[in-house]
Amino acid sequence: MFENYQSKNKVSKDDYKSLEQSLRNQLQQLQWQAAKQKKPVIVVIAGDDRSGRHETINTLSKWMDPRFLTVNAYGPSRSDDDAKPFFWRFWRDLPGAGEIAIYLRDWTSTSIVQNLNDDISDKKLKKRIQFIRSFEKGLIDDGALIIKIWLHIAKPVLKERVKEFRNTPYFDKKDELALRNYDHAIETIKGTLSQCNQKQAKWKVIDGSHERTRDVAVAQHLIKNIGQWLDLNQNNESGCKNAKLNKGSFSRLKMPEEDHAITGNTYKNKLEKLQSKFRQQMFDLQKRNLPVVIAFEGWDAAGKGGAIRRLVAPLDAGFYRIRPIAKPTEEEYAHHYLWRFWKQIPRNGHMTIFDRSWYGRVLVERIEGFASINEWSRAFNEINSFEAQLHQHGCLVIKFWLNISNEEQLRRFQEREVTPHKKFKITEEDYRNRDRWEDYTLAIEDMIENTSTQNCPWHIISSNHKNNARLQVLETCVKSIKRHLKSY
Amino acid sequence: MFENYQSKNKVSKDDYKSLEQSLRNQLQQLQWQAAKQKKPVIVVIAGDDRSGRHETINTLSKWMDPRFLTVNAYGPSRSDDDAKPFFWRFWRDLPGAGEIAIYLRDWTSTSIVQNLNDDISDKKLKKRIQFIRSFEKGLIDDGALIIKIWLHIAKPVLKERVKEFRNTPYFDKKDELALRNYDHAIETIKGTLSQCNQKQAKWKVIDGSHERTRDVAVAQHLIKNIGQWLDLNQNNESGCKNAKLNKGSFSRLKMPEEDHAITGNTYKNKLEKLQSKFRQQMFDLQKRNLPVVIAFEGWDAAGKGGAIRRLVAPLDAGFYRIRPIAKPTEEEYAHHYLWRFWKQIPRNGHMTIFDRSWYGRVLVERIEGFASINEWSRAFNEINSFEAQLHQHGCLVIKFWLNISNEEQLRRFQEREVTPHKKFKITEEDYRNRDRWEDYTLAIEDMIENTSTQNCPWHIISSNHKNNARLQVLETCVKSIKRHLKSY
């Protein structure tokens, strides 16, 4: 059906004229209504360059209110784009609450073109398709509307055009090429689109060969879909079926038999040796252009700050950034919760250390009820997909849980209260969190169970002795980097 | 003094040891106090690569709390940087309220290097220095603290080093070159730094040759300056002395004798002709890689939206963005008011249309008291400098004031109230603004008087007839682009 698909009834000039005003009014009305929703609308207009993609988007910009419409068009990729994972730029440009964005050259069509140009193998395309599905699913689960339109041009039409143009100055060699590779391209397109079809993110194929007919069909498809979405005002929360939730075993967080604290010169010598090794590795990573992400999570007062300081002490300041994660800003809150982390991932050869991270979704947000059960339970899969993409791009992901015992935490809180320059670190909230130790334990166990993957495992650091913990963090980093440098 | 400047008393190992803990405590205390201020701290550590710039910043990162310290290091410029005006990346990375950022390779040292490498002429450096002064002044006026440190290395020291290293594997040809060009470089540095000295943004020259001595001196300078700034909690509001404020002549906004409304086919033909010309020009601009910024201001209901839609109708959607400007977000509010506009300027060959703009500072913020008299009166100069930088980079800046009479506004408000799909456009606030027509008139006259420059003039568009206004807007754009393409 795809190969020879051509719409039979063409929209006449007169029909177009009488339709235009009504389509325009409907589109604008829907825009205004959508602006009031707290969720974004994502429109993908894909297809071959010869299928009128640009013209259709121009028509839409004319019909809709262009002030509340963003067109994300991507030309040839820039250095900045290549130094980050594939989905980075699409995440960066995601519309916020109440916004509508049209993507010209989206993730799927770009992947198809990359495969047709042999920039990515069939195997990599297959992997990419998984990421596409989880990218779109994550947005839909978060309440976004995704409309995907593929503008198709049938082979006989293309043949006709190439024939017509061959002896004119408008002739473009690329058209000839497109015609020659048509059958292979269509197979790839068909296969990819159908594999990317999923609930609420289905591809709509529209015949691109006749301008008026095409633009009307696209507008009608948008009107139908935005209208339905607004009507439903859907509450399509879907939990993660794979999440194995804890039955209360609490085994991972049990503190091991107490080691002796490492102190004095033994500590100093070990620390310096590890730091110097770590410094050397950072240069190796830079030379190899490989990025690193380190996420620190842990109980309050477990010593994240101190561990981070020992970790970065040997590094050149220009090559790492530390991102303390507080509660989201207004703008961040208006986006998918992973948006702010995507924006902050390091470019190649650089390192970002997150002091608290995206795991807030399944810890504080779960416990405090900021995320619903469906939201936090599907977050396990979303996070795994996020980290898998980083890893696939060549980024090393290291995750730490700094673990202390309940008694040690209390001791540290009390110590902070009597130390003048540490007093600012302790608030009533810390004690409130302490009261929920068991709830947190459950959430942490679930987190580790569901997000420890082969490539991005959790490292639980026994932190009752600060020095020991700091050495362990450095040691883990050194080991992980060593393995990463070998495998990449 | 600069040439042979060397600190006489070197900090011994023992002194360093006893100083270190105290410097660290003081720095961290100041960091925490600064975090509570609603203003940013900007630290520039500049100087030759051989002067220990990197090492000093590493020491600071070790002594200070690295989680609340950002180091903005710039390597070789990327395509993205070159496609925007010089100051763009420094604006983009400005610290927000309560944040501290250290710049490695700042605006001044980069300008000096560009001049020494013949990338920019002496004349251009001179112009650049003006921009540096106004950039820093704007930040200081806004309450920021700027600390600028130049790490110096005396010629005899450099000579000694080069001699020592010449026969070792550590020898770098660049050192030899730096030695050969030393005298010329020092002249340029001395001249530039002294020209960039201004109140509250003075350069401090510190001898970079001895590591411990240097790092202690830098830390002490930071402690002194941040401490003084916190003590003063300064209220250094400085008005703009050049602003010629209106005496009530109201001459610019007087509506001219009413033209006839242009309608029907006459309008249609003119519109299409202008749009087609404008479309062609946009391709020319893209080919020449020149960017365009268009700012729309005007009375409520003057027809900005309609004019913008006719303007972009002929353009390809990938090459322009429309930015509707609403009240600032939390994050924007935590920065200098020009920050959000700097972030949104177009890259080369692209166009950004602002639906309301940075002129809000001298219009609504002035009238409603969101900006103090000192803030809005110095904004005239700040805005002129902003636009001059865009122009200098090759960007065409077009500014429109859509002017309607008081009676016409009332007529349109009333019309909106009875038209179902326009009703959402009218609120009580519109009527409140209407009551302040005279105050606004005064502010608009002042704005036009003080920010109409040769390169970035205001265009006042009589908009009582919508069609006439739309044609005038397009005509002005076409004329301005034509001139721009010629002069660049």
SS3 of residue A131 by DSSP: helix
Asked if residue A84 has pLDDT above 70, the reply is yes
Q: How confident is the model at residue B326 (pLDDT cuts 50, 70, 90)?
A: confident
Residue from B28, B32, B56, B62 to probe the interface with A (highest A Cβ count within 10 Å): B62
pLDDT the model gives residue A167: 78
Please report residues of A whose CB lies closer than 8 A to that of B104: 317-318
- Average pLDDT in chain A: 89
DSSP calls for B355-400 = ES-GGGGGTHHHHTTSS-HHHHHHHHHHHHHHHHHHHHHT-EEEEE
What mean pLDDT comes out for the span A170-174? 74
Asked if residue A94 has pLDDT above 60, the reply is yes
Distance separating alpha carbons of residues B321 and B324, to the nearest angstrom: 10
Asked if residue B161 has pLDDT above 90, the reply is no
ipTM of the complex: 0.71
Q: How confident is the model at residue B167 (pLDDT cuts 50, 70, 90)?
A: confident
DSSP bridge partners of B206: B151
- Average pLDDT in chain B: 89
* Apex A200 CA angle, A198 and A201, nearest 5: 55
Asked if residue A182 has pLDDT above 60, the reply is yes
Chain-centre distance for alpha carbon B411: 39
Task: Enter the tokens of residue B190.
Answer: 């001395």
Task: Enter the tokens of residue A309.
Answer: 């300081």
Asked if residue A163 has pLDDT above 80, the reply is yes
Please report residues of A whose CB lies closer than 8 A to that of B312: 61, 66
In this structure, the number of other CB atoms found within 10 A of the CB of residue B80 comes to 15
Q: How confident is the model at residue B238 (pLDDT cuts 50, 70, 90)?
A: very low
pLDDT the model gives residue B162: 84
Sign of the Cα pseudo-torsion (B63, B64, B65, B71, in order): negative
Q: How confident is the model at residue B4 (pLDDT cuts 50, 70, 90)?
A: low
Looking at the partner chain, which of B32, B54, B66 has a beta carbon nearest the beta carbon of A316?
A: B54
Work out the percent of chain A whose per-residue pLDDT is above 70: 93
Please report residues of A whose CB lies closer than 8 A to that of B324: 67-68
Task: Enter the tokens of residue B35.
Answer: 């975090």
Task: Enter the tokens of residue A72.
Answer: 């994300």
Interface touch A309/B57, C-beta < 8 Å: no
- The answer for residues whose C-beta is within 8 angstroms of residue B168's C-beta and 6 or more apart is none
Please report residues of A whose CB lies closer than 8 A to that of B321: 70-71
Q: How confident is the model at residue B472 (pLDDT cuts 50, 70, 90)?
A: very high
Highest mean pLDDT among A81-95, B166-180, B186-200: B186-200
pLDDT digits (tens, 9 = 90+) for B193-206: 999 999 899 999 99
SS3 of residue B470 by DSSP: helix
* Apex A77 CA angle, A71 and A79, nearest 5: 125
Distance separating alpha carbons of residues A138 and A127, to the nearest angstrom: 17
Asked if residue A461 has pLDDT above 90, the reply is yes
pLDDT the model gives residue B173: 78
* Apex B349 CA angle, B347 and B355, nearest 5: 65
> Please, what's the b/e burial string for B227-258 (b: 16 or more CB within 10 A of its CB; e: otherwise)?
eebbeeeeeeeeebeebeebeeeeebbeeeee
What mean pLDDT comes out for the span B361-369? 94
pLDDT the model gives residue B78: 55
pLDDT digits (tens, 9 = 90+) for B11-25: 999 999 999 989 999
DSSP calls for B234-247 = -------TT-----
Q: How confident is the model at residue A233 (pLDDT cuts 50, 70, 90)?
A: low
Region of poorest pLDDT, from A465-479, B334-348, B371-385, B413-427: B413-427
Asked if residue A80 has pLDDT above 90, the reply is no
Please report residues of B whose CB lies closer than 8 A to that of A104: 317-318
Highest mean pLDDT among A3-17, A154-168, B349-363: B349-363
Task: Enter the tokens of residue A400.
Answer: 């730490």
Query: Taking an 8 Å Cβ-Cβ cutoff, which residues of chain B contact chain A?
Result: 25, 28-29, 32, 54, 57-58, 60-62, 65-71, 73, 75, 78-80, 102, 104, 305, 308-309, 312-313, 315-319, 321-322, 324, 329-331, 355, 421, 424
pLDDT the model gives residue A409: 95
Interface touch A61/B312, C-beta < 8 Å: yes
What mean pLDDT comes out for the span B306-329? 89
Q: How confident is the model at residue B239 (pLDDT cuts 50, 70, 90)?
A: very low
Q: How confident is the model at residue A237 (pLDDT cuts 50, 70, 90)?
A: very low
pLDDT the model gives residue A422: 73
Q: How confident is the model at residue A238 (pLDDT cuts 50, 70, 90)?
A: very low
Looking at the partner chain, which of A25, A319, A321 has a beta carbon nearest the beta carbon of B70?
A: A321
pLDDT the model gives residue A469: 97
Asked if residue A33 has pLDDT above 90, the reply is no
Looking at the partner chain, which of B70, B308, B330 has a beta carbon nearest the beta carbon of A66?
A: B308
Distance separating alpha carbons of residues A75 and A314, to the nearest angstrom: 40
pLDDT the model gives residue B399: 98
SS3 of residue B38 by DSSP: coil
Q: Do B109 and B203 touch, CB atoms closer than 8 A? A: no
pLDDT digits (tens, 9 = 90+) for A415-447: 988 877 677 778 888 888 899 999 999 999 999
Interface touch A32/B424, C-beta < 8 Å: yes
Residue B161 or residue B154, greater confidence? B154
- The answer for residues whose C-beta is within 8 angstroms of residue B87's C-beta and 6 or more apart is B107, B131, B135, B342, B389
pLDDT the model gives residue A77: 56
Residue A74 or residue A347, greater confidence? A347
What mean pLDDT comes out for the span B31-49? 88
Query: Taking an 8 Å Cβ-Cβ cutoff, which residues of chain A contact chain B?
Result: 25, 28-29, 32, 54, 57-58, 60-62, 65-71, 73, 75, 78-80, 102, 104, 305, 308-309, 312-313, 315-319, 321-322, 324, 329-331, 355, 421, 424
pLDDT digits (tens, 9 = 90+) for B106-140: 999 999 999 998 999 999 999 999 999 999 999 99
Highest mean pLDDT among A452-461, B80-89, B167-176: A452-461
